[in-house]
Amino acid sequence: MPGRGTKKRLDVQDVVLSKAPQLQVLDSEGRPLTGVEVEWARPGYQGAGHTHSFELDDQGGWLGPDLRAGDALILRANDEVVPYRTILAGPSPWTIRAPDGALELKLVDTEGNPLTATCIIGDHDHFLRPGAPLLGLSHGEMTCHLSVPGYQSAVVRTVINATPKKVTVVMRRL
């Protein structure tokens, strides 16, 4: 290690700092996304399932460590929005657009009474409350695994696009 102390000096005149962030996070309409937590993971750096969280500036700019292709980023807005995960590819700078798909899953028993459930999308579980839609879904084909204690599990396959979708699922008792 280099020596330490007030008499040691480092000449940084050749260090160039960029004004543009390596990463900008935008909403689906291209506006800077703020108020979200961005989790960062790098293969071989953290243990499996462990991430570091960083904020964005008021223009949606990354305020975390130096990024590189292969890093995983997870956007977490709030409990109503399904986390969005992406892997950075190619050279920086990168731009991520948060997905805007919405799905309202209405779960009822055979008498039509509303049920709360656990919904699993990919590797994320989400607690479904009656009337609360899943927000922040990526467009395209999606599979939801639904579970309610005392009822048979259900699988819903649907396609998410810019138009919010509503699906009713009748859950049958075990």
pLDDT digit string, tens, across residues 15-63: 656 678 899 999 889 999 887 889 999 988 887 778 899 989 999 999 9
User: Three-state secondary structure along the chain?
Assistant: CCCCCCCCCCCCCCCCCCCCCCEEEECCCCCECCCCEEEEECCCCCCCCCCEEECECCCCEECCCCCCCCCEEEEECCCCECCEEEECCCCCCEEEECCCEEEEEEEECCCCCECCEEEEECCEEEEECCCCCEEEECCEEEEEEEECCCECCEEEEEEECCCCEEEEEECCEC
| Residues above pLDDT 90, as percent of the chain | 60
Residues 89 and 111 both lie in one domain: no
Q: For the chain, how many structural domains are there in total?
A: 2
Question: Do the domain assignments include residue 3?
Answer: no
48 and 69: one domain? yes
Range of the structural domain that residue 53 is part of: 19-98
Give 120-150 pLDDT, tens digit per residue.
998 888 888 888 888 999 999 999 999 999 9
CATH number at residue 38: 2.60.40.1120
The pTM of the full predicted model, rounded to 2 decimals, is: 0.76
Domain edge (last residue) among 70, 98, 126: 98
